[in-house]
Amino acid sequence: MQMSSREFNKDKENDFSSWYNTIIYAADLADIRYNVQGFVVHKPWSMKVFKKLYKLFETELEKYGHEPVSFPTVIPEDNFEVEKEHAEGFTPEVYWITKQGEHDMARRLALRPTSETAFYQMYNLWVKSHSDLPIKYYQSCTVFRNESETNPFMRGCEFMWIETHNVFANEKEARAQVEEDKKILEKCAEVMCLPFYFFKRPQWDKFAGAVETYATDIMLPDGKTLQFATTHYLGANFTKAFNVKYNDENGKEHSPHSTCFGPGIWRMMAALIATHGDNKGLVFPFALAPLQTIIIPIPKTGEEKNIEKYCMEIKEELEANGVECKVDDSTKTPGYKYNFWELKGVPLRIEIGAREAKEKTATIVRRDNRDKTTCKFSEMAGNVKETGAKLDKDLLKKAQDDLEDKVKTAKTKEEVGKALDAKCYAKTFICSTEKEGVKCSQELQAFTKGGKVRGELVGEKKVSGKCCVCGKTGAQVYIARQY
Amino acid sequence: MQMSSREFNKDKENDFSSWYNTIIYAADLADIRYNVQGFVVHKPWSMKVFKKLYKLFETELEKYGHEPVSFPTVIPEDNFEVEKEHAEGFTPEVYWITKQGEHDMARRLALRPTSETAFYQMYNLWVKSHSDLPIKYYQSCTVFRNESETNPFMRGCEFMWIETHNVFANEKEARAQVEEDKKILEKCAEVMCLPFYFFKRPQWDKFAGAVETYATDIMLPDGKTLQFATTHYLGANFTKAFNVKYNDENGKEHSPHSTCFGPGIWRMMAALIATHGDNKGLVFPFALAPLQTIIIPIPKTGEEKNIEKYCMEIKEELEANGVECKVDDSTKTPGYKYNFWELKGVPLRIEIGAREAKEKTATIVRRDNRDKTTCKFSEMAGNVKETGAKLDKDLLKKAQDDLEDKVKTAKTKEEVGKALDAKCYAKTFICSTEKEGVKCSQELQAFTKGGKVRGELVGEKKVSGKCCVCGKTGAQVYIARQY
């Protein structure tokens, strides 16, 4: 029930939205026809990538001392009300369970929109002494938000993510965790071949209940940014609200400081699709592809058996070396198969004809640039893995170059608008990233039809300059339209 | 915040319930103090095992051609009503979402108690032609049941499982899937070191909407059985209800036959704990342990540095060979550490004193029987893996022997009762496993205080005999009390 690859004919550069929505259906990644608005069904072709994305992040988190936990999907209404800002921020987005069987429940349960209020009531029980700290726990799960406009992998009423909830003895350790979250993202983003910007969000755009919010944005081809991870320094806001305390070595009581980090696994899929795909379809990095190599026999009369046998030998050889591959032995033509697997984004293709079967060689074709190399059977596994690694490196380089081209310096709100219309970030100044800056930011947003202050770029040298709206001296920030 | 191992002092054989509930808390597997009744928090020590259990089953399912999908957690009420028996079976157990933010919803959404009604509406869209079949999809997720009596990993309001939903062209292929499910269970159970019985349940104890239900039971130490997987042959009940049809090669329309299989990952944890543990605490199989080997330094004045250094060398050597291990370098005494890691169920312990550090040897101690072996550093990785594999083999053998001792032949309902009181299965006859047998089964259940017909043992030669209740000739079945 999926679109033939010949029918897929969309212009990614000039009509990204149509390209994106069509490829999700055409490549059989998800089905949006489930009969609850905003909830999608994930098909095997996306699930295989989701499993790898989860493994990538979980492995990296565990290297840094995070440990897995799993909390209930439901949170009682009372918990929400403990941290006031948080409650106000999330209540409008919550799905409420009010009945068990045919009985009304005494109190409502929320489907978790995020799990701070579930974790902190338990941290209240678990944290007593300095020796109980730090706690660095993560859970891989879905969360629920009542959204009206939805789009697969970008915005949904139920989506996949990881959430870490971390408690530290003091502010210094908690702030170091923000740095560590950035490092984890950098390592994972390299595997995804995705360059990103790590911003400190302005005060008016922070997480409900946080002291500071840091967020990871990626620029999509239509010039809108997609936030795909956030990390929040929560100070002692949540620990105080939930009465989490510990005694230090001298028996003195303290409120610990805490952080949370939310790698948006769902949105990473959107970023992978949007960044690497082309007008032929998807392009998956070799390290994360649902299938790494497709082997396609080129039939020749009288030679079918030999070709088929040799294809199977290659499959066995590659699998023995840890490469995920498959022989497409369907009755379609080779041309049809090329198009089909290109649409699906399989990074490498191996073509086997009568000559290759006889000479024990193979031609390896890259999905991204169609470069071909020929090698002997004995070198094949090594060659496939090297070619895959090279493809990934090139995907990252290309995406990095694209991003560099997409930052334009702007001095006035007119110049900001021009940069955004050119599908770029505007690098400019705003009078303040504290609450006082909100007026200029709103004026800028209205003037540029949606340009928002994404924040100060973490790691970039701090310089100050004149606000592009009011002219007062302020901080250097990046402006972009966003998803 | 966990119990010291010296405080753990429970008699598994004679007071299993107290042993079980204490070990969950003492070994820090889960916390039942979450403030919604019946929902538990899973701590890292159990989550590491859950991740391995999921991987074990997912890998095996994929070997047999199943592919991963992920469906929404919510199912609209209308879907439930499509298959009448199914709706009646599950409606009393359902949690209902009735509000989004502060708005009442037009129709209620169920938190999935199982996902047939979500999958089949999509199968209606996906299945058109014989070439779309078979479909073999699985999802790893939690499901929700409104239960009043709960117990961690045995019965909960939210629990972890895998569900497969499979559609085939005809009855023959669908029935072959039931056989395949049994084979998958056999392979996974061997890794878990758990012997099980695969029963065909009597007609009065089948899944709501199924033609036939097969279920996997394990016998716990208190003589009650725990069902930890079910596989259902659904005939065309669900495909007809959801109007799923396909055209064969001649264009003729058919209703496909379907099956589902639910490995109860949560209950497998309960079975692992209950089967292998002893009065010292947990015993995890090497292949599934949250930590495979603990390295414990035995301090000697003046030799601390050498001992510490050698412990780290062993850790690196074992990790390089794929063994998960840790050095316990805390300030507690070796004796305390032995008890602690025995309570936690780590299968192997390596003791390193001054002599071992000097001679580059090590003593490996098994958790299950405390057998000790000494080996050289160069042989250590191989030795640890062999000892781990041997431990697993012995755990399985012991559990198999236990199970064989727990089957007693019974001719009368009095004999059945005696067998159950001796914490055993009663192997006897019932006049019928069709609907007509329900009367005798109820009488037997009342007489034996909870003895239920678990069904006919699949694979055992069919013999007939006199019903232990009414004396009419009927089928050989197993009776047990159950969780």
Per the rule left: phi > 0, alpha: psi between -120 and 50, beta: everything else, A479 is beta
What pLDDT sits at residue A102?
87
CATH of domain A293-394: 3.40.50.800
Could you tell me the CATH superfamily of domain A26-276?
A: Bira Bifunctional Protein; Domain 2 (3.30.930.10)
Q: How far apart are CA A26 and CA A30, in angstroms?
A: 9
- The candidate with the shortest Cα–Cα distance to B426, out of B450, B453, B462, is B453
Q: Token digits for B173?
A: 């292929």
Q: Among A35, A79, A131, which would you mutate to test the B interface (most chain B Cβ atoms within 10 Å of its Cβ)?
A: A35
SS3 B153: coil
How far is residue B313's CA from residue B319's CA, in Å, rounded to a whole number? 10
Give the distance from residue B47's alpha carbon to the nearest chain A alpha carbon, in angstroms. 6
Chain A residues with CB-CB distance to B101 below 8 A: 91-94, 146
How far apart (Å, rounded) are the C-alpha atoms in residues B223 and B481? 7
**Considering only the top CATH level, what class is B286-402?**
alpha beta
pLDDT of residue A1 exceeding 50:
no
Cα separations in angstroms, B385 against A137, A287, B53, B121: 30, 29, 19, 48
Residues of chain B with pLDDT under 50: 1
Nearest chain A residue (CA) to B46: A69
pLDDT value of position B1: 42
Are the C-beta atoms of residues B277 and B19 closer than 8 Å to each other? yes
Residue of A79, A101, A122 lying closest to B146 (CB–CB) = A101
Residues of A in contact with B49 (CB under 8 A): none
Burial class (CB in 10 A: 0-12, 13-18, 19+), B183: exposed
Total number of residues shown for chain B = 483
Tokens 């157990």, located at residue: B93
Contact B72 A118 (CB under 8 A): no
CATH topology of domain B408-482: Translation Initiation Factor IF3 (3.30.110)
CB contact under 8 A, B72 and A146: no
Q: Which residues of B touch A44 (CB under 8 A)?
A: 67-69, 137
Q: What is the pLDDT of residues A280-294, one digit of tens each?
A: 999 999 999 999 999
- Residue B222: closest CA among B17, B66, B67: B17
Nearest to A72 among B39, B43, B78 (CB): B39
User: What whole-number distance in Å separates Cα of residue B423 and Cα of residue B170?
Assistant: 42
pTM of the full structure: 0.97
* Pair B416, B448: CB distance under 8 Å: yes
Distance CA A59, CA A297 (A): 37
Phi, psi of A235 (to 5 degrees): 55, -140
Q: Which CATH architecture has domain A407-482?
A: 2-Layer Sandwich (3.30)
Q: What is the largest CA-CA distance in chain A?
A: 86
Query: B73 vs A74: CB contact, 8 Å cut-off?
Result: no
The pair phi, psi for residue B367, each rounded to 5°, is -70, -35
Identify the pLDDT of residue A91: 81
Integer Cα distance of A218 and B46 in angstroms: 36
Looking at the complex, report in whole angstroms how far the Cα of residue B473 sits from the nearest Cα belonging to chain A.
41
Contacts of B419 (CB under 8 A, 6+ apart): B408, B410, B425, B426, B479
**Whether B94 and A111 lie within 8 Å, measured CB to CB:** no
Q: Which residue of A has its CA nearest to B160?
A: A70
For residue A412 the two structure tokens come to 């006035």
Q: Is the pLDDT of residue A62 over 90?
A: yes
Q: Which residue has the tokens 């058109």?
A: B128
CA distance A107 to chain B (A): 10
A48–B68 C-beta distance less than 8 A: yes
Measured in angstroms, the CA of B233 and the nearest CA of chain A are apart by 23
Please give the C-alpha separations between residue B64 and each of A299, A453, B264, in angstroms, as whole numbers.
29, 51, 19
Mean pLDDT of chain A: 95
Contact A67 B79 (CB under 8 A): no
Percent of chain B residues topping a pLDDT of 70:
99
The residue among B34, B42, B120 with the most chain A CBs within 10 A of its CB, best to mutate, is B34
Phi-psi region of A459 (alpha: psi -120 to 50; beta: other; left: phi over 0): left
pLDDT higher than 80, residue A5 = no
Question: Are B142 and A73 inside 8 Å of each other by CB?
Answer: yes
pLDDT cut 70: percent of chain A above it: 99
Helix axes B44-63, B265-276, angle to 10 degrees: 120
Tell me the pLDDT tens digit for each residue of B234-261: 999 999 999 999 999 999 999 999 999 9
Task: Return the structure tokens found at A50.
Answer: 């989701």
State the smallest CA–CA distance between residue A91 and chain B in angstroms.
6
The DSSP annotation for B411-463 comes to SSHHHHHHHHHTT-EEEEEES-SSGGGHHHHHHHHHHTTS-EEEEEETTSPP-
Question: What are the backbone dihedrals phi and psi of residue A281, each rounded to the nearest 5 degrees, phi first?
Answer: 135, -150
Q: Mind telling me how many Å the CA of A354 is from chain B's nearest CA?
A: 29
Q: Which of B96, B162, B165 is most worth mutating to test chain A (most A CB atoms within 10 A of its CB)?
A: B96
> Which range has the worst mean pLDDT, A9-13, A298-302, A321-325?
A9-13
DSSP label at residue A290 = S
Of A35, A95, A128, the CB nearest to B100: A95
Partners of A240 in the β-ladder: none
Contact B347, B391 (CB under 8 A): yes
| Contact criterion met (CB < 8 Å) for B43 and A95 | no
3-state SS, residue A404: helix
- Return the axis-axis angle of helices A380-405 and A265-276, rounded to nearest 10°: 90
Q: What are phi and psi of B475, to 5 degrees?
A: -90, 155
CA distance B427 to A142: 45
Residues of B in contact with A33 (CB under 8 A): 122, 125
Question: Residue B483 CB: number of other CB atoms within 10 A?
Answer: 17
Residue contact B1–A128, C-beta within 8 A: yes
Rounded Cα gap, residues A153 and A25, in angstroms: 13
Q: Where are the domains of chain A?
A: 26-276, 293-394, 407-482
Chain A residue with CA closest to B148: the answer is A100
Element (H, E) at A247: strand A246-247
Closest CA–CA distance from residue B39 to any residue of chain A (Å): 6
- Which chain B residue's Cα is nearest to A112? B73
The 3-state DSSP class for residue A277 equals: coil
Q: Cβ-count burial of B452 within 10 angstroms (0-12 exposed, 13-18 middle, 19+ buried)?
A: buried
Query: Among all residues of chain B, which has the CA nearest to that of A102?
Result: B92
Question: What CATH class has B5-72+123-276?
Answer: alpha beta
Beta pairing class for A425-430 and A407-409: parallel
- State the pairing for strand pair A197-200/A212-219: antiparallel
Q: Which candidate, A297, A284, A298, A270, places its Cα nearest to that of A366?
A: A284
Report CB contact under 8 Å: B69, A41. yes
Phi, psi of B61, deg, nearest 5: -60, -40
Mark yes or no for CB contact A34/B71 under 8 Å: yes
State in Å, rounded, how far the first CA of chain A is from the last one: 30
Q: Cβ(A472)–Cβ(A431) under 8 Å?
A: yes
Q: Are A395 and A277 in contact (CB under 8 A)?
A: no
Task: Print the SS3 string covering A147-197.
Answer: CCCCECCCECCEEEEEEEEEEECCHHHHHHHHHHHHHHHHHHHHHHCCCCE
**Axis crossing angle, helix A265-276 with helix A44-63, rounded to the nearest 10:** 120
Alpha-carbon span B246 to B258, nearest angstrom: 13
- Strand A41-42 relative to strand A135-144, pairing: unpaired
